[in-house]
Amino acid sequence: MKAWNRTRYPFYFIVPALLVYGLFFVYPTLTGFAYSFTDWSAYSDEVHYIGLDNFRDLFSEGVLGLAVRNTLLYAVVVTVLVNAIGLLLAMMLNRSTRVTAFYRTAFYTPVVIAPLIIGYVFTAIYSPEDGPLNQALRWIGLDVLAVDWLNDSRYALFSIMMTEVWRSAGFAMVVYLAGLKTIPRDLLEAADVDGAGALRRFKNVVFPLLAPSFTINILLTVINSMKVFETVLVLTNGGPGYDTEVFNTLIFRNFSRGNWGYATASGLVLTLIISIVAIVFLRMLRKREVDL
83-141 confidence digits (pLDDT tens): 999 999 999 998 878 888 899 999 999 999 999 999 999 999 999 888 999 999 999 98
> How far is the C-alpha of 287 from the C-alpha of 292, rounded, in Å?
9
Q: Which of the 8 DSSP states describes residue 112?
A: G
Q: Please name the helix (run of DSSP H) or strand (run of DSSP E) that holds residue 290, with its range, or none.
A: helix 260-291
Upper half-sphere CA count for residue 163 (Cβ side, 13 Å): 32
What's the Cα-to-Cα distance from 145 to each of 137, 165, 206, 240, 264, rounded to whole Å? 7, 20, 38, 19, 41
The single-letter code of the amino acid at 92 is M
Q: Is the dihedral of CA 44, 48, 49, 50 positive or negative?
A: negative
Where are the chain's structural domains?
56-291
Q: Is the distance from CB of 57 to CB of 262 less than 8 angstroms?
A: yes
pTM metric for this prediction? 0.89
Query: How does pLDDT run along the chain (292 residues), one tens digit per residue?
Result: 455 566 666 777 888 888 999 999 899 889 989 999 999 999 888 899 999 999 999 998 888 889 999 999 999 999 999 999 999 999 999 887 888 889 999 999 999 999 999 999 999 999 988 899 999 999 998 888 899 999 999 999 999 999 999 999 999 999 999 999 888 888 777 877 777 777 887 888 888 889 899 999 999 999 999 999 999 999 999 988 899 999 999 999 999 999 999 999 999 999 999 999 999 988 988 887 776 6
Residue type, 101: A
The architecture in CATH of the region 56-291 reads Orthogonal Bundle (1.10)
Residue 223 CB coordination number (10 Å): 16
Written as one letter, the residue type at 88 is L
At 44 the pLDDT is 85
C-beta neighbour count of 34 within 10 angstroms: 14
* Residue 4: per-residue pLDDT: 53
Q: Using an 8 Å Cβ cutoff, are 271 and 29 in contact?
A: no
Residue 9: per-residue pLDDT: 67
pLDDT at 183: 83
